[in-house]
Amino acid sequence: MNWLVFNRVSINCFDKTVIFPEIEEGKSLFLSARQVNEAVADGAELFMLLATMEAKDKLVIRDLAVVCDFPDVFPEEVNELPPEREVEFSIDLVPGTRPISMAPYRMSAVELTELKSQLEDLLDKKFIRPSVSPWGAPVLLVKKKEVGWCECVQQNRFEIWVSSDTCEN
């Protein structure tokens, strides 16, 4: 209870909400995983809860100060790839490494049409190119209310990455 009082946390039992105050610059109300592990090792009691955050105002990228200060770095729409660099990026594989066999995700006709449309758009902009590489990553499409279809790429068996440039939520 002392932590709640010290950090001015409000608990509304009727609405079943816990409200944390605005966090001051450089201050954190939360513990890192390492700090939690150390506290548990020292005999601290541990409780788990599921928390969700609700923003008061919808944050728009155009409202961020750094975006306003550097409009040439953050254009509304990206029409071309960045210029070629002096250093070419490559990934060296361990000799004998082979791709993992993984069945593609099943898609409805609507999802398949949307995926083809997005791929054609990216091909037209030359952001991607056709590949014959045996390596790849499964792609999922998730429908978001205000944004439309969002691409999700499965990096490994447990991690799914949502394309943040098209999905803000």
Q: Where are the domains of the chain?
A: 2-77+102-162
List per-residue pLDDT tens for the chain, 169 residues long: 677 888 788 888 898 888 877 777 766 667 788 888 888 899 888 777 666 666 666 777 777 788 888 888 877 777 777 778 787 777 777 888 887 777 777 778 888 888 888 888 888 888 888 877 777 666 667 777 777 777 676 655 544 444 444 454 4
142: number of Cβ within 10 Å: 14
Rounded CA gap, 128 and 45, in Å?
51
Residues 50 and 37: their CA atoms lie apart, in Å, by 19
